[in-house]
């Protein structure tokens, strides 16, 4: 798409409170620029646009290498946009999210550049008024530049009708007190205050002012002295802390008088400062990985024989999977978009419903032995089509083309797609079998997986070196072995060992390997496989979820919750994520969080049944009644989980016969090592509720004999409180505690380094 017959949109760079920034090519000058499309609330006001023009003209007077130059303001079909110098790199905000507190040598470099840039702007009579890490750019060549000069001023100086809104312009975490109290009476020292707040964050990894809402954040700086960074890091020198506090002084007359003076003071402190040995970068949390762009991939439209519709489903799933593992994106799970299949939808309405910034849509058309794939990316707030592409491919190139589409979308969204590209075509029949098998695997995750395994096995037989096929086949077999046990365990182990050789960069391979090691009693080897896999593929949500489940069992709850939340950010399509997170919160006694998690929507019959069983279990933990949704009974799937659910309901009501409990015990005795452990745990809980103390204790013993390592459950489950008072309990659980301690050394918070 081209704006004003001059600026060709190349990619979405980011969004902010005032507009959306694109990377664009100036076709007249043949150079890349940053193009900011103003939000309609600003663009529709003629006086504001005139002020933008004046501020842009004023900002053009700043010529300094540490300031991104402003070019002009223009219009296209009602869209108002600014053009600015494009700085190829990342924002300081992105660096802080990923790394936390920076080494002093880097703080010094940022401080010098920003102070020099501010000094040049102030000398030209321009005050920024909204300085923050998002507006400090670090180029790939090391240059540091401050951007967005003049934009905040243009908004603040709106007419009297909007001036009260102008008081809130700026970012609360970095705004000077006078911007809150008297926004019409500010000077260059508000920029010094803002940079003091940025310095606080550079040194500590935390914001200077925090609070549960906007007004708390703003009021704290009005009633409290500036915070001391040494309260968070005692290794920071007193002189450096004093500079930060002076820059953030409540009264502007107590601050430095100029950016140059602040820069000189920082240079004095930082030029001779030794790097404190105790300081280290903050380990990234789930918020560090939080996506900056929200995306919905709509079900791709299909044109062709109805029997081949799974090609469109396969492309949609592949894009969701790949983009979900892309740093910088938050992709809505397929369950939220499935209802939009085969209907005409307005992308803007979809965006409002799903709360996303970007919509991906497209089509799949079968033409004999060839397939035409079309896709486009739309930024919904302004309707700009960021990217569009069409591919005509042979069936064997289907996944290669899907990969090219995913990489094209990621590039258009300026996101970091870390998955490797597929370069080779696969056997056309193998692709067909793979797509059908993967669809069956997802649809039957908690049910009969034999059909999915058969399809995937046939696909691998035709394309034995295709990483995606082999990894998915190994994952399906490992899940089937969990549900069936028996001879399937050996087949699953062989497939997993093959997968880590053929597909070492896919999370499914390592998850399958870890699962099959557990089936053969090697919990230590399983934990080591998961840790190795996460270090190798840190963006795999499935791998992080598997690691978190081990952490959950060995009672490293805070770390398990962190990993589960990170996994949900990376790939919300991983099965049972919400249920595992709810169980972790229940073990902590955080029932409000449990209820919020279990209230999240579920998109299919198997998912609803799994959710109902987990909800029933946790309701029993706290003595609540158990409700069985009519939709779950009507679906009539997965006989054993449904039998367990109905048994849980009747135990809660006190309406249960011993023969039904005997049936569950018989199921637990079947040779399905991992699944049987879960059944023994459920059996122990139900027996404890019914007052069958010895039977419950025996069930715990059977689970431990089978390889149970769930120390958190043994320690914390409310239903086992009576068993924990039994004199036989310490000897019974001693083996678990010993193994759990060894596993904590492998997957615990200090060991994983993630």
Measured in whole angstroms, how far is the alpha carbon of residue 16 from the centre of its chain? 19
Residue 226: CA atoms inside 13 Å, Cβ hemisphere, count?
28
Q: What angle do CA 430, 435, 441 make, to 5 degrees?
A: 120
120 to 60, 62, 102, 127, 308: CA distances (angstroms):
12, 7, 25, 10, 63
Reading the block at residue 372, the tokens are 């035409």
232 to 182, 197, 279: CA distances (angstroms):
31, 14, 10
> How do strand 144-146 and strand 2-3 relate by DSSP bridges?
unpaired
- Cα separation, 544 vs 550, whole angstroms: 10
- 124-151 in b/e form (b: 16+ CB < 10 A) is bebbbbbbbbbbbbbeeeeebbbbbbbb
Cα–Cα nearest to 742, from 576, 526, 545, 428: 526
- Cα separation, 527 vs 532, whole angstroms: 9
Give kind and range of the element (H or E) at residue 322.
helix 310-324
- Count of helices and strands (H, E) across the chain: 34, 15
- Cα separation, 700 vs 682, whole angstroms: 10
Cβ atoms of 519 and 550 closer than 8 Å: no
Cα–Cα nearest to 683, from 709, 711, 719: 719
Cα–Cα nearest to 531, from 469, 687, 540: 540
Q: What angle do CA 340, 341, 342 make, to 5 degrees?
A: 115
Q: Write the DSSP symbol of residue 160.
A: G
206 to 99, 100, 199: CA distances (angstroms):
11, 7, 10
Reading the block at residue 306, the tokens are 């109805």
- Cα separation, 563 vs 552, whole angstroms: 10
- Cα separation, 99 vs 565, whole angstroms: 18
Cβ atoms of 593 and 624 closer than 8 Å: no
Cβ atoms of 586 and 621 closer than 8 Å: yes
First to last CA, the chain: 41
Give the residue numbers marked as catalytic.
130
Give kind and range of the element (H or E) at residue 375.
strand 370-379
Helix (H, G, I), strand (E, B) or coil at 713: helix
Helix (H, G, I), strand (E, B) or coil at 188: coil
Backbone angles phi, psi at 389, to 5 degrees: -155, 150
């Amino acid at each position: 798409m081209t704006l004003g017959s001059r600026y060709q949109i190349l990619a979405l760079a980011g969004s902010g409170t005032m507009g959306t920034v694109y990377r664009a090519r100036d076709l007249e000058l043949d150079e890349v620029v940053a193009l900011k499309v103003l939000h309609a609330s600003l663009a529709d006001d003629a006086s504001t646009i005139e002020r933008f023009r004046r501020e842009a003209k004023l900002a053009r007077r700043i010529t300094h290498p540490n300031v991104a130059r402003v070019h002009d303001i223009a219009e296209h079909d009602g869209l108002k946009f600014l053009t600015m110098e494009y700085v190829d790199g990342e924002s300081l905000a992105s660096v802080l999210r990923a790394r936390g507190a920076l080494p002093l040598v880097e703080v010094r470099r940022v401080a010098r550049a920003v102070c020099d840039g501010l000094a040049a702007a102030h000398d030209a009579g321009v005050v920024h008024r909204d300085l923050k890490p998002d507006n400090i750019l670090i180029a790939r060549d090391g240059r540091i530049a401050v951007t967005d000069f003049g934009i905040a001023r243009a908004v603040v100086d709106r007419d009297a009708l909007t001036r009260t809104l102008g008081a809130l312009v700026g970012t609360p975490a970095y705004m000077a007190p006078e911007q809150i109290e008297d926004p019409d009476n500010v000077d260059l020292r508000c920029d010094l205050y803002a940079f003091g707040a940025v310095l606080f964050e550079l040194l500590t990894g935390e914001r200077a002012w925090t609070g549960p809402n906007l007004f708390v954040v703003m009021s704290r700086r009005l009633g409290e002295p500036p915070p001391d960074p040494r309260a968070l890091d005692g290794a920071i020198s007193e002189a450096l802390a004093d500079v930060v506090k002076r820059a953030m002084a409540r009264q502007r007359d107590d601050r430095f008088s100029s950016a140059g003076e602040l820069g000189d003071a920082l240079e004095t402190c930082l030029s001779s400062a030794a790097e404190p040995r105790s300081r280290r970068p903050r380990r990234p949390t789930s918020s560090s990985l939080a996506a900056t762009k929200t995306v919905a991939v709509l079900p791709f439209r299909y044109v062709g024989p109805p029997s081949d519709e799974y090609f469109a489903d396969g492309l949609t799933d592949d894009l969701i999977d790949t983009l979900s593992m892309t740093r910088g994106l938050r992709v809505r799970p397929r369950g939220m978009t499935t209802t939009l299949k085969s209907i005409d939808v307005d992308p803007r309405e979809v965006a409002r419903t799903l709360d996303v910034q970007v919509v991906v849509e497209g089509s799949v058309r079968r033409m004999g032995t060839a397939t035409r794939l079309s896709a486009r990316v739309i930024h919904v707030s302004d309707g700009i089509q960021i990217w569009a592409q069409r591919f005509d491919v042979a069936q064997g190139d289907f996944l290669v083309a899907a990969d090219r589409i995913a990489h094209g979308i990621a590039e258009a969204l300026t996101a970091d797609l870390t998955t490797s590209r597929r370069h080779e075509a696969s056997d056309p029949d193998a692709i067909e079998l793979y797509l059908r098998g993967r669809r069956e695997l997802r649809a039957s995750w908690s049910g009969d997986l034999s059909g999915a395994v058969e399809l995937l096995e046939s696909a691998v037989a035709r394309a034995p070196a295709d990483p995606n096929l082999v990894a998915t086949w190994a994952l399906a077999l490992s899940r089937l072995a969990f549900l069936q046990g028996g001879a399937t365990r050996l087949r699953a182990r062989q497939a997993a060992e093959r997968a880590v050789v053929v597909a070492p960069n896919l999370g499914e391979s390592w998850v399958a390997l870890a699962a099959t090691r557990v089936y053969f009693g090697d919990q230590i080897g399983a934990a080591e496989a998961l840790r190795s896999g996460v270090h190798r593929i840190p963006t795999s949500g499935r791998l992080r979820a598997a690691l978190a489940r081990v952490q959950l069992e060995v009672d490293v709850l805070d770390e398990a919750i962190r990993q589960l939340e990170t996994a949900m950010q990376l790939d919300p399509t991983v099965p049972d994520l919400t249920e595992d997170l709810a169980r972790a919160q229940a073990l902590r006694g955080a029932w409000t969080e449990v209820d919020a998690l279990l209230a999240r929507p579920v998109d299919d019959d198997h998912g609803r049944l799994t959710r109902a069983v987990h909800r029933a279990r946790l309701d029993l933990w706290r003595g609540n009644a158990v409700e069985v949704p009519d939709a779950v009974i009507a679906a009539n799937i997965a006989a054993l989980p449904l039998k367990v659910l109905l048994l849980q309901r009747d135990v809660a009501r006190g309406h249960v016969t011993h023969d039904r409990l005997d049936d569950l015990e018989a199921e637990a005795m079947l040779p399905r090592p991992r699944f049987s452990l879960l059944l023994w745990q459920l059996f122990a809980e139900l027996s404890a509720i019914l007052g069958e103390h010895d039977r419950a204790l025996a069930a715990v013993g059977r689970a431990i004999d089978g390889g149970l390592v769930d120390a958190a459950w043994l320690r914390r489950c409310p239903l086992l409180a009576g068993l924990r008072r039994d004199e036989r309990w310490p000897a019974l659980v001693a083996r678990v505690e010993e193994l759990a301690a060894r596993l904590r050394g492998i997957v615990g918070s200090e060991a994983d380094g993630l």
